[in-house]
Amino acid sequence: MQINSQQANVAPSPTEAVALKDNEFRIDAVPSGSALLVGDVAVFNVTGSFCATQAKCTHKQGPLNEGKLDGSTVTCPWHGSQFNVCSGAVLRGPAVDPLKTCRVVVEGEIGRVESV
C-alpha cells in the first residue's frame, strides 16, 4: 500500500487562516473540563466558561494545566493543592498563596488571555 503524503488543496477555514498571537487560543482546543497551556498561563474550560490562572502552582511550581479539573477546582498533580480556577483562591494546601488570575475574552472561535 502506498501512502500519499500530499495534502488536499483545500482552502483553510476563516479561523485556520488567522495566525494566533502568543496570548490567543482556539476555543475548540479546550473542551469542557480541560485545560490548555497558553504561554505561562493555564486556560480552563469550566462548563463553557473560560478562566485563566498562572500555570504553576504557588507551592512547588507544579504544572496546573496537567492537574485534574473538577468543576472549577484544579488539583495540582505534584502535591495535591487545590485552587478555584476562576478566583485563584486556595481550597486545600499545602499551598497557602492564591493563584494570579487573568481575564479571558472570546471573540468568535478565538480566545485571548489578558493580564490583569
**pLDDT tens per residue across span 56-81:** 999 999 999 999 999 999 999 999 99
Q: Which of 90, 99, 21, 87 is nearest to 63 (CA)?
A: 99
Residue 40, phi-psi category: left (phi > 0), alpha (psi -120 to 50), beta (remainder)? alpha
Show the cell assigned to 89.
483562591
The helices-and-strands tally (H runs, E runs) of the chain is 1, 10
pLDDT of residue 18: 65
Q: What local confidence, expressed as pLDDT, does residue 19 receive?
A: 87
Average pLDDT (101-112) is 96
Q: How far apart are CA 113 and CA 22, in angstroms?
A: 9
* CA angle centred on 75, ends 69 and 80, rounded to 5°: 160
Write out pLDDT tens, residues 13-49.
Answer: 454 556 899 999 999 999 999 999 999 999 999 999 9
